[in-house]
Amino acid sequence: MTTALRGLHRAQVQLALQVLAEVVEDGAAADRALARQVRGNRKLGAKDRRWLAALVYGVLRRVCQLRARAGDEPGAWLSALLVEEYDAEVDQLDRFGLPAPPPPVAPTAAAARNWPPWLNAAAEAHFSAPRCDAIAQAMADQAAVDLRVNRLRCSPEQALQALQAEGIAVERVAAAPQALRLERRQPLQQTTPWRQGWIEPQDVGSQWICALLEARPGERIADWCAGAGGKALALAADQEDRGAILALDTDATRLSRIEARAQRLGVGSIATAALARDGWLDPALLPEGGFDAVLVDAPCSGSGTLRRHPEQVLRAVDLDALAEQQLAILGQAAGAVRRGGRLVYATCSFLPQENDAVVARFLANHPAFSVVEAARVLPVPPASETDPWLRTLPDVSACDGFCALRLVRAR
């Protein structure tokens, strides 16, 4: 067996195939499918878990390339990966229970970028080929682990020193005052800063979006499409937990995760409510006069988060249908903003079709709203002196790909 494959066994390979089957056939998120396999196989050691993650994410980070070469079967993808990156031989693949892969073929531009055709076409409509290549290359890398320091419990310097005291290699992040970044992935749940609620995982780009809203103590804020509440928790800290935040989502299961997270972080100002299936808010939940600020983290293609969720390239995406949904949600949320209030629209997509085009249509139909340049709120960078949007990408901003724009309603 080649040195690169030392420690890899048939059982690890077969577990990896089970995870890939969940992702491909059932649409499961890769991280959750991987965690389920680990929980269900208590005898897996640290090396086993590392191999399992390496195989699953190794395939998913190149799945469009591997599919172009080997067809639609995850077993063939894994074979091609082991041959190309680990110099596996046919007899080794056979021992792992894997088929021999077909010969390599020249990939299309989309496959070379590990982008599905819909994403490649959408990106090439707005970016040059070299820019698309650079974005794709950055998206192929593993995302860093960013932390938000919970200002309700400690300062960034206190959290930094406490983590370092426990052997965690971590550093401050420029232009993100509450952010820390791990130098390498390490478990945090047993550390004192985690147990005391000093830190919370949150990508730096996501932290900048929260800063763009500029939450203030005493304000009434709505987090539309809040999911599991990461941004709502950050906004509560910005308010010093002296305000009223309503976290809204159509998925009550995701909303239910907020309570435990809030308790660990010492946050008491967040309430949750489920939106109707069509996205409308129960009028009884609207405060008199409207919310002071509303954050709309709209459902999107997720093109900016492929480093964290590479399995998203396997999903069929209808950008036109998404844009209609995004416009409808933005319009619904805008109706809940008080006169003079703030509205931030954000996606984890770098595609203008889901950002610039959606907001342009919104503004054409909502003349009471106007644009506030990101540079009036955030430092440059991450804001730009020439672009009102906050735009981040991993090759430029060292974080996930986000787009966000702040609007204000006329008094």
Q: List the catalytic residues.
A: 348
In the numeric block, the tokens 């990156």 are attached to 85
Question: How far is residue 101's CA from residue 71's CA, in Å, rounded to a whole number?
Answer: 9
In the numeric block, the tokens 């993808």 are attached to 77
Helices (H), 72-155: 74-86, 90-95, 109-112, 117-124, 129-139
Q: Helix or strand or coil: residue 70?
A: helix
**What ranges make up the beta strands (E) of 197-313?**
199-201, 220-224, 244-249, 270-274, 291-297
Residue 260 Cα distances to 31, 103, 195, 233, angstroms: 20, 51, 12, 11
User: Could you tell me the end-to-end alpha-carbon distance of the chain, in angstroms, rounded to an integer?
Assistant: 72
Instruction: Walk across the sheet containing 170-172 and list its strands.
Output: 170-172, 179-182, 146-149, 199-201
8 Å CB contact between 318 and 119 = no
Residue 127 Cα distances to 120, 132, 278, angstroms: 10, 6, 33
Helices (H), 167-229: 192-195, 204-213
